[in-house]
Structure 1
């Protein structure tokens, strides 16, 4: 065997000797002081090249002979044809960077990591894997290529050490199945590490539900107490969480004291204890409110619900709670992450996927099986499931395993007692802290016991972190849409898959076990199925131009009329973008189509109400001796009919009835804003419909969510518009309007804690004034020069996806030539969470993104040292924004727009400095930026208006020196 590459640590260890074995290199023996297995574990590594697609157009290759070389992408591809599949990280991304469609047979270290170390986090890059495995991270592409075999060795070592642990009971059976059915490249290496090279494969290894625990019903919890948490007690708990020797932050203790006021006993129904608290970045607000919240929950025997805005923020908050509950098992009991059902692995979907799995899908299902046996809560979307697993396989291989379309059959499911969602619902009832998102909290509180998911309705105590997002969260949660997609979803839920395709179960399938016992359910069920056919059927978007047929289609006719009005009333615009039109005056086709649809929906509503009534009557009939299973099925069906059908039907009928009313007088403040919209994708019209939003969505938030609670804390780093320096009271009033506090009878307790950071010396803010922001070439050139000046660690933010993609295409080659990796939303085959993980791990990479990356992303240190906006993030012009600008601005529409833009800039600026030793540069590539918007930046920051060349020089100088360059 040729001599290995010098310095590649995996060859140099004295514990191993090498021998050729079926294209692998065997490193023997490997013993760890555990009871001997039938055969000692060994390390069997592929005798394959290691590949790093270092940049666009170039690659680094470590040959099996130990030769390290940098090649053009096409030369690397040619070399691989001779040497065989390589060891690499993230095969689809590597293929894309090499300019080819795929790398079949590659030894993807991500697949090995996910199999051997399931439910463990790791950014999907060589550096990210090295950090996750406690290996020295590579400094460049060459050292990364040399490190790949050592990463494989360490993963297999860890698998061998844990081979007798419970989670690995079926690992050999599963790996053998992958070897036999899918020729998985890593199968032999995994089996060798497990000490079972001749294991027999079986599909039983995929049947992970066999090993999952079942939940059990418990007695109802006793009523909670109402004992308060004092400010002194909150401070003491905070000190306990932080531990001895922790950094002293007086403002954090002050924040905990203020937060404790939300946990005082309520005095009057409908008047919760309200605290509105702004804590500048670096205050430590998370542990500041966790201290009184956890103490209140322990003392009173009820959970506190902590809500934040995004899944990524939920994950960050959960990581912070490890400070409170360091033991993972204790944390699992006392902290529950709650999300919508569509986020979790559905065991029935997984079961059906396993039953009909083709060889091409078995590897994906096997990695899910390994994860499902180790996961904390079964969360596929942002939990402990590595998001990059989905990126390694064809679209839908993983995402379709979740209940993305509301197909849950609850107690009729054979896996119901092991269901991850049902587990989390029950654990939340006895937890101390429940970490949810704003949308789930609002929907649950609004629906209450009608929710259909076993939830108990509103909580007693809420903490709304990222409270500046409450307006937007409520806007989505309390909106309604009478669109093709929404109507087709209800039709699918009622009728199931039509035409013999898909696994969707209709209402009949959900009730089929009850129908023989309760035949009175059959007539309204038959009637429901007949009336549901008035809703749009699959493929309605391809029938826009069809003439009305013999069979009435009220749903599709209404969509066609709505589309006609939008096309008639809007200016000729880019067909790639959505369009919308005011509801009044109505197009001539709309009234008749709306009336026909209203009548059809009423005919559908009637049998559904009757069916729900019959189900409840059976449940309430004292003569019925119901088995527990039947009672659960009946109750689940009744609540599901309410939530999935009757609630949307009621909203749609109210919207259609409004069309019969005369339009409001101009200038009248409406309760709702209604409009017609057309949805487009890639130049095609794919949906149309009538949309309704609350003019002020904080009204239903205040009345349905906050008012029933006993205490509510709303916290954020940016609650107020701090540009209103001369009138602090006005700033607080605006914050109360954005959060809905003004709609509650009790005034809120206000608290404001400044950031401890020295923004004047830690940051530099620049507005580039000598460029045309509307020129894609100039924007790309500016970003390129700034990214090169910072040496990476740069986040570019865009207000439009098209501009992002254009800039990415223009600057990628130059950054690649400089050795700076560039990643981008809507370009790379990765979701935003994966991109953020990579950006955080790769200190000198650059990332392009849109709104999702503007706030709520925590990237401390050098990994984020430059933030560049392509232009001022004004609110998007729309009918809804127009009406809010008129009616919610207090007669100052320009100030209303300014406030939104200023808030977005402030949120983005907050990404730069996350620690006391961070330094960062903030750049706006928009000469039109009004100075009044820059007043929202932190105190002490004085923006400079510079030409591009000087901006580049000052950026490089500021980031290279601990001292500010001269102004």
Structure 2
């Protein structure tokens, strides 16, 4: 490697210089190697490994995956993904040779020999692109960064990059990693005026939809009908607390995204306020963001008008980045931080989760080099941070206030509402896509957990780092500039920090199983140990090794005593924190004339943090402990809340313990806190209603109304004063001719070997393009371990959620790009995944997705089922099967096979599949033949 000269060289003509490396395409257990001299070799992995020992590092795509496929130890390589991340940061690409070719507008060949020959051409394309933009602001420090990476890591692409930039002798510098110096500041703007209230008519919604689609686009009458119905959510409200609520079911293929974007964008433009669009999954959030390119094709205008909002834990934290850069030499992080710094300059919004961040970077360099860069532990110090004005989160909050559409997620929308609107304020118009998940999202948002993990996090937030490597500052450090030497603030702070030692200290999980509780460890640990003993005493034998739970009552005496002590301890913590909060808040009024703007912002942020991170959970925990001292509820009485104790285990190891509280019906707080304050709400999904719940005789009259009532109950519409406007648009797809649905009757779902064999045979019959869905991660991993190698030997790569290190969005990108690939997943792959075409032509479900038999489900089944508990279970399973089936056909020309490996599946559950689908029961051999023959047809 050439040592850089001490002085920076002037710009020279760019050159396209490739490493003198062979190109390698790795299959499973075999590979194809093309030398720079044109010698081609295809053969077994052992021979590939032998040849690599005598060659320079090969040119590959995704070196860790290539090593795994070949069964070799990780080897030095010129990874094209690294070059791609440097040359075209923030541009999406599936991390495979074919995926990279598609990202660079190349048609990927089918043969591995041709793919190997293509790799140097892809490298040339990337370097040519870099050379063309060498004078752009984005590449101002690119040469200094490449030289630094060469100096620190011997990065094999450094010379190629420097040659393309025309700066072969560039001086190395760590400054390009300090991206906060080059990021723009956000600017505070005046509060927006109140929005006007001009409605959007059905005709106007249709017209806007036609404008978005453009001339010559495919005509979808159902889509226009849907847009007309959605427009009803954008009328002026007449009564406070009674929003215009539309429940709209849109069959797959309707085009509902643009259907509701049409009236939503028109209302926002006309009235000067954003419409918030909320999803349950990141996959759909990203899909909606991409589809809005048809509404605003210009990237600059689109960035201004469309804002993606997520929780703070999703974004790159510049303070974390600064600390990582400072320790890069010690931690060996130069290369990942260098590539992330390139992305940080190009990213649209700094989103590390599902945005434009290349998710495969965490697999190339390990999650420990990526995820600590986000604020995943709530340590944000807001305006006290030196990078506050460049902060990606603060940018997105301010951009959202002036946006046309804000694409958020259910969790953020509900948490913000629970906090009284939060940093983003209360949106007047809300669209909830994936509305069938509102019940689950509200269940998570409005619940409370008094667990070891939650309590230990609060202690860490209050006391800061207590040993180990952490930048956790603690409350004292965060507030030191605001408190100074003021006794009225110092005293409650000191009292709170002393009381915080009642919370679980470092190493608490290791002490959870101790037989004798040590009161010196604090009241919380004693309480957790007493809960653990009660749970274990009342667990069923078959639950051994898995997470277990039990009812509160009859309450064991040690638990009652420990709960009383803990309640006192939490009161001693909450009281000084409340005093501190109130005295800080009082400064905003008492010292209004003296406070500088920065101090005012810091005080507001401190009060907000105290309220959200400490006072709110402490209040909830106190109420939960109060339940333990009250008489138990009489059998048959409907509760407002469901409480229980649980011992959490992961892979046979105890990881947490605690008391949990959920609303019996979480749509009630959703309706009151989220929907009622809004003026208009659209709740939409392909599966809002439960189809097939009644017999054919009942279906003619009773079923439609019953299905709508159930949908209103599951979405919170039943808790609002005005009736919901109902709309349903059927799917335009011909399911009868384009799909096959099969229940396999001779596979024992309890036998892992039989299940794995079925997956292997069916995936082989489809030639790939198969999605396998599981109701348990353990069974997914077991099947993956059994079938990965046999499928690889047939040229079918297998990817798996919870096995591969890639995030879900990247896994889906790979699956979409590789028509021969198969993918295994759980719930996240069942919902919100859009893979049109031959990349998804077979879907196999391992068993009926019944709800988990938990205490929470037992209580809901009893009190929310209207006296039909079995029907309650059926409805949940039917929804999940229908959602899974919906992944299969995404376009008119798609065709696919749906297979359920559960012979015990009742026919009533399959009645909810789309109209025209005929379910047949047969043996595995016939199912394999049916799959092969149907998918082979043109």
TM over 0.5: yes
State the match for 1:9 in structure 2.
none
State the match for 2:21 in structure 1.
48
State the match for 1:165 in structure 2.
136
- Does structure 1 residue 290 correspond to structure 2 residue 261? yes
- Does structure 1 residue 391 correspond to structure 2 residue 363? yes
- Where 1:82 maps in the other structure, the secondary structure is coil
Q: Residues 550 and 442 (structure 1 numbering): CA distance in 2 closer, same or farther, change over 3 Å?
A: closer
State the match for 1:5 in structure 2.
none
TM-superposition CA deviations, 1:829-882 (whole Å, max 9, x none): 222211110000001111111111112100000000000111111111111111
State which drifts further: 485-494 or 44-53.
44-53
- Alpha-carbon contact 2:772-2:844 (below 8 Å) kept: yes
Q: Distance in 2 between matches of 1:346 and 1:180?
A: 27
State the match for 1:747 in structure 2.
723
- Where 2:263 maps in the other structure, the secondary structure is helix
- Where 2:806 maps in the other structure, the secondary structure is coil
State the match for 1:556 in structure 2.
525
- Does structure 1 residue 490 correspond to structure 2 residue 442? no
State which drifts further: 465-474 or 826-835.
826-835
Offset of residue 99 of structure 1: 2.5
Aligned residues: 924
| 1:894-909 matched pairs, under 5 angstroms | 894-909=870-885
1:799 to 775, 781, 794: 775
- Does structure 1 residue 673 correspond to structure 2 residue 642? yes
State which drifts further: 155-164 or 575-584.
575-584
State the match for 1:280 in structure 2.
251
- Does structure 1 residue 97 correspond to structure 2 residue 65? no
Q: Distance in 1 between matches of 2:376 and 2:73?
A: 29
Gaps of 5+ in 2: 4-8, 694-698
Offset of residue 394 of structure 1: 2.5
- Where 1:44 maps in the other structure, the secondary structure is coil
| 1:338-417 matched pairs, under 5 angstroms | 338-358=309-329, 360-417=332-389
State the match for 2:220 in structure 1.
249
- Does structure 1 residue 74 correspond to structure 2 residue 46? yes
Q: Distance in 2 between matches of 1:235 and 1:50?
A: 53
State the match for 1:16 in structure 2.
none
Q: Distance in 1 between matches of 2:126 and 2:30?
A: 28
- Alpha-carbon contact 1:279-1:752 (below 8 Å) kept: yes
Q: Distance in 1 between matches of 2:24 and 2:538?
A: 55
1:59 to 25, 31, 37: 31
Q: Distance in 2 between matches of 1:47 and 1:552?
A: 62
State which drifts further: 82-91 or 689-698.
82-91
Q: Distance in 2 between matches of 1:575 and 1:46?
A: 56
- Alpha-carbon contact 2:755-2:901 (below 8 Å) kept: yes
Q: Distance in 2 between matches of 1:575 and 1:360?
A: 42
Q: Distance in 1 between matches of 2:597 and 2:718?
A: 46
- Alpha-carbon contact 1:618-1:624 (below 8 Å) kept: no
- Does structure 1 residue 190 correspond to structure 2 residue 158? no
Q: Distance in 2 between matches of 1:552 and 1:188?
A: 57
- Alpha-carbon contact 2:519-2:526 (below 8 Å) kept: no
Offset of residue 806 of structure 1: 1.7
Offset of residue 292 of structure 1: 0.6
- Alpha-carbon contact 1:762-1:919 (below 8 Å) kept: yes
- Where 2:541 maps in the other structure, the secondary structure is coil
Offset of residue 552 of structure 1: 4.9
- Where 1:690 maps in the other structure, the secondary structure is strand
**TM-score normalised to structure 2 length:** 0.97
Offset of residue 83 of structure 1: 1.1
TM-superposition CA deviations, 1:541-579 (whole Å, max 9, x none): 111244344625101111111111111110234554211
| 1:399-798 matched pairs, under 5 angstroms | 399-448=371-420, 451=422, 454-456=423-425, 458-499=426-467, 501-516=469-484, 518-546=486-514, 547-549=516-518, 551-573=520-542, 575-622=544-591, 624-724=593-693, 725-726=699-700, 727-798=703-774
- Alpha-carbon contact 1:93-1:829 (below 8 Å) kept: no
Q: Distance in 1 between matches of 2:791 and 2:847?
A: 22
State which drifts further: 822-831 or 343-352.
822-831
Offset of residue 144 of structure 1: 1.9
Q: Residues 550 and 271 (structure 1 numbering): CA distance in 2 closer, same or farther, change over 3 Å?
A: closer
- Where 2:629 maps in the other structure, the secondary structure is coil
- Where 1:274 maps in the other structure, the secondary structure is strand
- Does structure 1 residue 851 correspond to structure 2 residue 827? yes
CA RMSD of aligned residues (A): 1.5
Q: Distance in 1 between matches of 2:464 and 2:72?
A: 40
- Alpha-carbon contact 1:227-1:299 (below 8 Å) kept: yes
- Alpha-carbon contact 1:575-1:680 (below 8 Å) kept: no
TM-superposition CA deviations, 1:80-119 (whole Å, max 9, x none): 122132111112222222224422x311111110011000
State the match for 1:110 in structure 2.
81
State which drifts further: 715-724 or 319-328.
715-724
- Alpha-carbon contact 1:51-1:145 (below 8 Å) kept: yes
1:220 to 171, 183, 191: 191
Q: Distance in 1 between matches of 2:798 and 2:869?
A: 39
Q: Distance in 2 between matches of 1:380 and 1:771?
A: 42
TM-superposition CA deviations, 1:43-76 (whole Å, max 9, x none): 1111112222211x22222233322222222322
Q: Distance in 2 between matches of 1:807 and 1:146?
A: 35
Q: Distance in 1 between matches of 2:760 and 2:39?
A: 33
State which drifts further: 944-953 or 112-121.
944-953
- Does structure 1 residue 206 correspond to structure 2 residue 177? yes
- Alpha-carbon contact 2:431-2:682 (below 8 Å) kept: yes
Offset of residue 148 of structure 1: 1.4
Offset of residue 583 of structure 1: 1.3
TM-superposition CA deviations, 1:744-799 (whole Å, max 9, x none): 01000000000000000110101111221211111111111111111111111111
Offset of residue 680 of structure 1: 1.3
State the match for 2:816 in structure 1.
840
Q: Distance in 2 between matches of 1:461 and 1:953?
A: 51
State which drifts further: 60-69 or 737-746.
60-69
- Alpha-carbon contact 1:861-1:914 (below 8 Å) kept: yes
- Alpha-carbon contact 2:279-2:285 (below 8 Å) kept: yes
Q: Distance in 1 between matches of 2:297 and 2:193?
A: 28
State the match for 1:26 in structure 2.
none
- Where 2:575 maps in the other structure, the secondary structure is helix
1:926 to 889, 896, 902: 902
Q: Distance in 2 between matches of 1:582 and 1:665?
A: 13
Offset of residue 22 of structure 1: 7.3
Offset of residue 814 of structure 1: 2.0
- Does structure 1 residue 911 correspond to structure 2 residue 882? no
**TM-score normalised to structure 1 length:** 0.94
Q: Distance in 1 between matches of 2:897 and 2:689?
A: 23
Offset of residue 623 of structure 1: 6.1
Offset of residue 403 of structure 1: 0.2
Q: Distance in 1 between matches of 2:744 and 2:117?
A: 42
